[in-house]
Amino acid sequence: MLGFVDCVWYDDSQGLASCLLEQFGSGECGKRGVVVGYDARHNSRRFAELSATIFLNKNFKVYLFSNFTPTPYTPYAVVKFGCVAGVQVTASHNPKEYNGYKVYWSNGAQIRPPLDSDIQSHISANLNPLPTSWDTSALQKASSDILDPLASVTATYFTDTLHLCYRREDNASSPVKIVYTPMHGVGAEGAREAFRTFSLPDFIPVPEQIDPDPEFRTVAFPNPEEGHSALGLAEKTAERHGATLILANDPDADRLAVAERSDPSTREWDILTGNEIGALLGWWLFKNYRDSHPHFNGKNVYMLASTVSSKFLQRMASVEGFQFEETLTGFKWMGNRAHELLQQGHEVLFAFEEAIGYMCGCRVLDKDGISAAAVMAEFAGWLAGQGKNFRQQLDELYARYGRFESEVSYFVCHSQDTFTQLFNGIRSRDDGNYPKTCGPYVVDSIIDLTVGYDSSSSPPDFKPFLPVDPNSQLIKFILDDMTCECTLRTSGTEPKIKYYIEISSKIGETVSKEELTKKLRKVAEAVVSEFLQPERWGLEARPTQ
């Protein structure tokens, strides 16, 4: 008998199978098949096997991983085997009670609108489990329709990461001691192999967190974005071993956090923000691309970032002559846009989102914390050879392109009605119109991707250049003579309202980190008190780190 939660997985897989059969036909589905992967959370393997059974019963070829794997392996496998789709059972960095169902289309990118709505319609039309839905015994029978892709994928995935390795002959002598944690997840084996592939010295594991544990026993939240509260054991391990760099994957290994000890004389760890890591990786990948392509055509080379992420790459692109594009939030947009650019004959070097997600190259059209960890480790070794660390490198980049400082945080709210009222209140704050000011700062322009309004666009429709989504809340404000950008949005997966604020200086303008950070805090205080009004709406502050 299927339990309630089993039925949810059945519904999703049955609906996806129905949609795939409609889109590709039974012949292609049987020939090309689907990939099914899973992480090490409670019941992930069972849910993956239930999903695989449903596809198998619908005469799909099924590539079912025999063990838990990092999420990036699944989109990689979709492209490698030419499948019609892929499914990863994972809840990424969410608490232990969660699990989820991540879908990739035939191009290896996450599904996006309107395809997600089409799949949802098929799910709603296929809610009746068959008597055989629970019987996974067919997965154990030898058949050409059920295959284990694990060995094949790991054999080529790491070879394919070598196009991101630029100094392999020097890596073995890297002086940087690195501590690594997979945050009780599935990243350790992949990270080890990536380091070996790059000829990097072995990392020092955090022993309490190196093995998969669905209980996530040593952290309140298994999310390396949460700062010192999540990285505390890694910091202690690094101190014991005299390491100066920490790399942390989230539990499904598609994200990467980085912390370094910039000043060995102190006990303080400098946790780089997602925007700072994005700036560093973007520069590093471009530098090495340009070194090997001295006559590169900038019109053909792209980098991408989500709309809530730093505009550092946009500034760098304007100086260096390559192309930059902004997308909606999430790799479902960046991965698909990267695929479109590749189909048009362009090169995509890098894409990132501030939530510590990075796509280095295009072998995986999604964020990939395994390859990003190896790239950052090699980068750190190169910097150490010049007597520098990541913070010093960032200062050099800011001297060339202008300084960027950002603040990203959130409030918790469990009421969708409150979200709607809060955002509608912002839209009508000044005599029924959008705000003209935020504290002492003048609002220069507004982009509202919920209703489809961009004040800087052409009248009479004022249409924004990014897609509109009436089912989510997102308003962006450009403040203070175009030097500050603030975005307010609701999370698509968690009960949160997030705010993203970035302030930048102009190229050639001399301004210290302290000056810009002081102004950033003033803007953030104004945004919280005037726009978000947590006391009025009963918003819960982000837990202190």
* CA 366 distance to own-chain centroid: 8
- d(C-alpha 332, C-alpha 232), whole Å: 31
What are the two backbone dihedrals, phi and then psi, of residue 41, each rounded to the nearest 5 degrees? -70, 165
Cα distance between the two ends of the chain: 44
The residue among 366, 355, 316 whose CA lies nearest residue 104 is: 366
The residue among 395, 93, 389, 349 whose CA lies nearest residue 222 is: 93
DSSP state of 530: I
- d(C-alpha 101, C-alpha 88), whole Å: 6
Sheet holding 347-353, edge to edge: 323-327, 301-306, 347-353, 357-360
The residue among 127, 98, 101 whose CA lies nearest residue 47 is: 101
Q: Do the beta carbons of residue 38 and residue 45 sit within 8 Å?
A: yes
Two tokens, residue 34 = 């689907």
- d(C-alpha 523, C-alpha 111), whole Å: 36
CB atoms within 10 A of CB 156: 14
For 283, the enclosing helix (H) or strand (E) is helix 274-292
- d(C-alpha 157, C-alpha 108), whole Å: 14
* CA 420 distance to own-chain centroid: 26
Across-strand partners of 348? 302
Q: Do the beta carbons of residue 526 and residue 440 sit within 8 Å?
A: yes
**Look-up: residue for tokens 């599935």?**
186
Task: Reply yes or no on whether 92 is catalytic.
Answer: yes
Active-site residue identified among 51, 92, 106, 310: 92
- d(C-alpha 154, C-alpha 211), whole Å: 19
CB atoms within 10 A of CB 82: 11
* CA 285 distance to own-chain centroid: 18
DSSP line for 113-146: TTHHHHHHHHHHT-----TTTT-GGGGGS--TTE
Two tokens, residue 230 = 């999540």
Assign 3-class secondary structure to 346-363: CEEEEEEECCCEEEECCC
The residue among 387, 370, 377 whose CA lies nearest residue 201 is: 377
Please report, as a single letter, which amino acid is at residue 360: C
- d(C-alpha 71, C-alpha 186), whole Å: 9
Pairing mode, strands 347-353 and 301-306: parallel
- d(C-alpha 137, C-alpha 139), whole Å: 5
What are the two backbone dihedrals, phi and then psi, of residue 242, each rounded to the nearest 5 degrees? 70, 30
Active site residues: 92
